[in-house]
Amino acid sequence: MHRCLRILDTYLAILRVLREDVDIEGLAALAVLARTCHVLSEPALDVLWEEPHCFADLVRCLPEDTWVLYETLGRPCLTVNKPLGPSDWTRFNFYAPRVRRLTFPNVYITKYMLIDTQTLSLLSEHRPSLLLLPHLRSVGFMGLPESFWSFIQLFTGPELTEFRWECIMESSLRQAAISVLTNLVHRSPNIVTLSVRVWQDGRVEPSILPLTLESLRHLRNVSLIMPTAHEHPADLFRWLTSLSSLSYLGLSIHGSLPDVEDASGSPYIPFARKVQCLAPSFRALETFRVDDAAIQTASATLPFLSRSPRLRNLSLSLFLGCVGHLDDPQDDGAVVRDLLQAISRHCPFEHIETFAIEILCIDAGDKYTLGIDQIAFLLAFRNLEHVILHLDIPIDLEDVELERLVKAWPFLRTLHIGNPEEFTVARFMPRLTYDALVVLATHSPQRKASRSFWTCAPSRWTMCGEHKESVWR
């Protein structure tokens, strides 16, 4: 064996490259290395089994006479059809401690082999030890039916640090959902990454989270679907702000359409109430992300960031509908401008490195544009490295205005200004010229391995180099 392979770090780096190979050849090569010699076998097996494609791969390590395959939903499904004795677990237990990450995908869309509840029931009943996968660090359950929920605890344990759960439930299953989270807290108190997306009767049920997860005090990364209840989710936000180590917060705010009105006839904005009395503080927050929200709703979340001195990354993926009156075509443009002004007022600009806004205009047309005056607040963010502005609204800039922006960001690496490729704006005449490329090359020396997209340039022009590419549209 070559001396380089005797250095464990070098050998593991080679194994990781093979593991990340999207083709089956990479996994096949790992299997070959595992059979080469005893010295190479253990590290190769660890990398090969650290994240199986599906749990059925591991169940198939049981003796072949204990399970059968049948077809359901157009895919093969594995079921264990007999009780398991101690000797049946030998091969399973050889590989199970190597599993670090596991995902149970939605049974209706996965391309991998399925397992049924009978299999999980027999594994739970006959398992030789309390922990089925003793060193599991990350687990995800994506849209599993309620019949699987009682078996989620099989995949929790003291070493679990990441838990992801998505489900749609009826109101009658609320107690079952609480039981899942209660067992999680009891069996996996060291969770640091949590993603829970629980829908109930077409709306989000938030109250089960602070009720059951209050004792998880080490959470650093949290992703949630926020409620659409008309009462402000005060308990949920109090719980979030009490997490002293929280560094990533991602909120999906489905259903908060701007044309939904409350009893008073005003547009419904769930975050707008009781903000001052909450006085939230995300002191350790570094990344804040909002998805699938109306612009007014996102604007109402921004005051929560005023006490986040460590904030480095801000990402907003929003939609803009017909929020104004039909006889006032400027209302939508005013909403976008109000959002940008709210960002300038509430976001601490000392440490922001990534600033990304994507807005889907349901019916934007070509009614309005944004100019340098509306985005000039970004000049205060001196440490920006990545700027993405996909507003579905034309940003009308001249060369000197672009130069003003770029000069303000000496560390700039990525600059996307414009609209997604599939969106075109009729009757908009861009004013940028090819001289803008000179501006970028002169004032953004750090802009390597980056791309710049423009809908405000007059034609398509591509510059390719060893480390950079600029695409003009």
- DSSP secondary structure, 402-442, as one string: HHHHHHT-TT--EEEEE--TT---TT------THHHHHHHH
Say if residues 218 and 185 touch (Cβ distance below 8 Å).
no
| Radius of gyration of the chain, Cα coordinates, nearest whole angstrom | 26
pLDDT of residue 266: 42
pLDDT of residue 228: 53
pLDDT of residue 361: 67
pLDDT of residue 11: 79
Q: Give the angle 394-371-457 at the CA atoms, nearest 5°.
A: 50
Say if residues 358 and 317 touch (Cβ distance below 8 Å).
yes
Output helix, strand, coil percentages for the chain, rounded to the nearest 5: 35, 20, 45
Q: Between the CA of residue 186 and those of 157, 181, 294, what are the distances in Å?
A: 9, 9, 37
| Closest to 123 measured CA to CA, from 45, 48, 56 | 56
Cα–Cα distance for residue pair 229/2, rounded to 1 Å: 64
Q: What is the pLDDT of residues 230-283, one digit of tens each?
A: 444 667 777 888 888 999 999 887 654 333 334 343 444 444 444 444 445 788
Residue 264 neighbours by CB distance under 10 Å: 6
DSSP one-letter code for 52: -
pLDDT of residue 268: 42
Q: Are strands 162-169 and 138-142 parallel, antiparallel or unpaired?
A: parallel
Q: How many residues does the structure list for the chain?
A: 473
Sign of CA dihedral 440, 441, 447, 453: positive
Cα–Cα distance for residue pair 137/155, rounded to 1 Å: 10
Cα–Cα distance for residue pair 333/75, rounded to 1 Å: 49
Retrieve residue 42's tokens.
Answer: 């253990």
Say if residues 287 and 312 touch (Cβ distance below 8 Å).
yes
Q: Between the CA of residue 146 and those of 77, 170, 468, what are the distances in Å?
A: 18, 10, 49
Question: What own/partner pairs with CB < 8 Å and gap ≥ 24 does 80-89 have?
Answer: 80/118, 80/119, 80/122, 80/123, 81/118, 83/122, 83/125, 83/126, 84/122, 84/123, 84/126, 85/126, 86/128, 88/62, 88/63, 89/62, 89/127, 89/128
pLDDT of residue 419: 58
Say if residues 168 and 199 touch (Cβ distance below 8 Å).
yes
Distant-in-sequence, close-in-space partners of 286: CB < 8 Å, separation ≥ 6: 247, 248, 310, 311, 312, 313
The alpha carbon torsion through 44, 46, 51, 57 (nearest 10 deg) reads 80
Cα–Cα distance for residue pair 101/19, rounded to 1 Å: 13
Q: Give the angle 93-95-100 at the CA atoms, nearest 5°.
A: 115
pLDDT of residue 8: 76
- Positions of the chain with pLDDT under 70: 1, 5, 22-26, 171, 200-207, 227-234, 254-280, 321-333, 361-368, 419-430, 445-473
Retrieve residue 10's tokens.
Answer: 């070098």
Sign of CA dihedral 419, 423, 424, 428: negative
Cα–Cα distance for residue pair 244/265, rounded to 1 Å: 38
pLDDT of residue 276: 45
Helix ranges restricted to H, 257-364: 275-278, 295-301, 331-346
